[in-house]
Structure 1
Amino acid sequence: MNKQTVQLVFCVDDRFCLPLGVLLRSILATTERTLSVHILTQGVSEQHRQRIEAELCSPHEVRWYQVDSAGLENLSLSAAFSQRLSLATYYRFLLGNLLSPDIDKVLYLDADMLVNEDIGHLYDSNLGNAIVGAVSDSKLSDEQRWQHLELSQPYYFNAGMLLVNMTAWRSMDVAEQCWQWVERGIDFAYNDQDILNLVLNGHVALLDTRWNQQSHGLRLQQGGIVHFTGAEKPWHASCVHPLLERYRALWHDSAYKDVAAEHALDAFDKRSLQRLSQQTNNQGAIWIYGAGQRGRRLAAFLQENLPQLNIKGFVDRAQTGQFQGVPIVSALPHGANEPVLIASEPHYEAIRQTLLAETTDQHRIITL
């Protein structure tokens, strides 16, 4: 039997080219089919193009599509995602407009994914009369987001993996319906994903969750496709995901092997580091209050850029163990007199008040 070429679609800018390169490496390592890769972008540097194309030698092919900026002026990202995503996430609306009309099926994937099984099996899924095949969003389904959007069907899918019947997509003019929602100017918390759920409600075949294993409630660490849906990504220096070792191994075998992990610092992190520098002159030793994502990324940045500053430990009542050699303890040790950096934005003031009650030396607290 002649196996059908897998038509893959990605929407990226320069920020997401490295994870796309690693994702392609994972697909090539697990998938037997020939790949035809379609990349929608408003601008990718020539260096990134060369790296991506280096991953896809014959018989595979890659095609680049330039997204016209006209008509995209109304696009925006909600506050929760403005530092994590780019407007490229909306480009998938344009599948029917940009791809050749003779392509009748595509598999769209977000770049922040890792493939562990042959996606040819996913590509062959029977969609019946549905326009797309997708997987339920684990976190937002738990929160029953379909009720908030007043959807007629009791489900809410994650749009990071979409198996698309292109004939039906074009026939329903999904792109036009999506742009109509954009023009209404509604501030959707989940951006284009909310819009796709609204437009495609009742036209979705829910597929096995193994084809989009999201970080929330991750159950199958070797699922067909693992989706790094949290703010912490495996190309960040502070990531502790269960599949980090496999991801990094593929990364170091890819065209991006010479690129170092990045420090994804937000505005709060940068203010914290500025105040830390002012109060300690980046010398001596400190404690970090909080061993979650923020605490880890601050620690990873300090270890790489200010090794002369000794991190004695994390304070965190909910976690144990260590991170990159730094121990995690449930409370500041008795008699500890080093400065404390609070690694929590929503609970900053509550933690500060707790520390003030526990110490007579208020100058030990790195205040914002």
Structure 2
Amino acid sequence: MNLVFVINEKNEYARHLGVVMSSILNNTNEFCKFWILYDNLSSESMIKLEKISKKNNSEINFIKINREKIKSLPIDERSYIDLVTYARLLAPEILKDEDKALYLDCDLVVLKDIKELYGLEFNGKSLVAVTDGERDQNRGKKRLDLKEEDSYFNAGVLLMNLEKLRENNKFQKAVEFAATTDKVLELNDQDALNAVLYDDFREGGKSWNYTHGNSEELRLKKSEVGIIHYTGSIKPWDARCINKYRREYLRYLKLTPWEGYPLDNQSLFNSLMREVTMLKLYSRSFRHSIKKMLKR
């Protein structure tokens, strides 16, 4: 299986990549070939990532990004997202001898055997992707002037038909769209990808990209979730994070060379505020469930 990641070591993302790799390798027996497209990555972090790979009998390849190909593309100044996110659009040309690959963001955790997702059929499409929650979809479609019946997908999990993408050149078209559009691309390359491929992807199933938006609508059981995607600016490595699945990140962190790494913004105040907020959310969810039962 070809698994593609894009990383800039800014904000300690090598550590988070290590967590994703660990979660993948501890839930599959398939041989994994990791392709790490990086802009800035220390030799120390490379050694740690190689250690994870060797421990689980997989292969890892580090490929320096040609920043010249993306440097002119727009980034919303208000966003926490880095310019290197556009490098995923270079995957078809970088993996020129491969016909298929799975791109994954570094702010997620895999809970099931990734071969289930990797084995999905494209059915003639360029991608297998997962649509965002309804609220996020509507915002995305409005930004891009898409039709109501069109779909907007989250680009954090993309099964890529590399052979087809090299034929139709749609990732390059997304680059060109980002470089020339007068629209505000709030979510950068995700918006660009949707502008070009909104009708050229197959739905992969919400459990394979379980975002905050999707969880608000579906409320899947943990046993039903394939990938937890920690969307938003406050991640599970932050003491303020209230995502109920944040402990899954910490569980897989223990299986990496970064075991014991402290949480960001760790303080007694932040820990107490997190617990109070989670209690309020739980109480609100409980009251909502009771009201639904009484209406039946």
What is the alpha-carbon distance in structure 2 between the residues aligned to residue 59 and residue 88 of structure 1?
A: 28
Secondary structure of the residue aligned to 2:109 is strand
* CA-to-aligned-CA distance 1:118-170 (integer Å, 9 cap, x gap): 01011110111100000001154453532441235511000000001000011
Structure whose alpha-carbon radius of gyration is higher: 1
What TM-score do the two structures reach when normalised by structure 1? 0.68
Give the one of 232, 235, 238 matched to 1:236. Answer: 238
- DSSP 3-state at the match of 2:67: coil
Q: Name the structure 2 match of 1:67.
A: 65
More helix by share: 2
Give yes or no for the alignment of 1:203 onto 2:205: no
- In the alignment, the residues of structure 2 paired with residue 221 and residue 44 of structure 1 have an alpha-carbon distance, to the nearest angstrom, of 36
Amino acid at match of 1:135: V
Moved more, 232-241 or 193-202: 232-241
In structure 2, list runs of 5 or more residues that go unmatched: 281-296
Structure 1 spans left out of the alignment, 5+ residues: 1-5, 264-299, 305-310, 323-368
Whether 2:82 is the aligned partner of 1:76: answer no
CA distance in 2 between partners of 1:178 and 1:199 (Å): 6
CA shift for structure 1 position 8? 0.2
Within the candidate set 12, 32, 37, 1:35 is matched to: 32
**Contact preservation (8 Å) 2:102, 2:160:** yes
Asked if 1:56 is matched to 2:56, the reply is: no
Match of 1:85 in 2: 81
Number of the residue aligned with 1:307: none
2:258 aligns with 256
Q: Distance in 2 between matches of 1:22 and 1:73?
A: 28
Deviation at 1:302, TM superposition (A): 6.5
**Structure 1 position 145 matched with structure 2 position 140:** yes
Q: Give the equivalent residue in structure 2 for 1:45.
A: 42
CA shift at 1:76, angstroms? 3.4
Greater mean deviation of Cα atoms: 27-36 or 241-250: 241-250
Question: Is the 1:74–1:182 contact (alpha carbons within 8 Å) kept by the matching residues of 2?
Answer: no
Matched, 1:113 2:108: yes
**Match of residue 162 from structure 1:** 158
Task: Indicate if the aligned counterparts of 1:10 and 1:40 stay in contact, CA closer than 8 A.
Answer: yes
TM-score (norm 2): 0.83
> Larger RCO: Structure 1 or Structure 2 (Cα < 8 Å, ≥ 6 residues apart)?
2
Whole-Å separation in 2 of the counterparts to 1:126 and 1:184: 33
Q: How does 1:1-368 map to 2 (within 5 A)?
A: 6-14=1-9, 15=11, 16-57=13-54, 59-81=57-79, 84-99=80-95, 101-138=96-133, 140-143=135-138, 145-151=140-146, 154-184=150-180, 186=182, 187-218=184-215, 219-222=219-222, 223-263=225-265, 300-301=266-267, 321=279
Q: 1:144 to 1:183 in 2, by over 3 A?
A: closer
Per-residue CA distance 1:273-317 (angstroms, 9 max, x = gap): xxxxxxxxxxxxxxxxxxxxxxxxxxx44759xxxxxx9x86xxx
Tell me whether 213-222 or 145-154 shows the greater mean CA deviation.
145-154
Q: Distance in 2 between matches of 1:258 and 1:76?
A: 37
Residues 301 and 139 of structure 1: is their aligned pair in 2 closer, same or farther, counting only changes over 3 Å?
Answer: farther
Separation in 2 of the partners of 1:319 and 1:251?
24
Aligned-partner Cα distance in 1 for 2:242–2:139? 28
Structure 1 counterpart of 2:258, one-letter code: Y
Query: 1:160 is paired with a residue of what secondary structure?
Result: strand
Mapped to 2, the partners of 1:9 and 1:143 lie a distance apart of 28
**How much is the aligned-residue C-alpha RMSD, in angstroms?**
2.4
Kept in 1, the 8 Å contact 2:70–2:86? The answer is: no
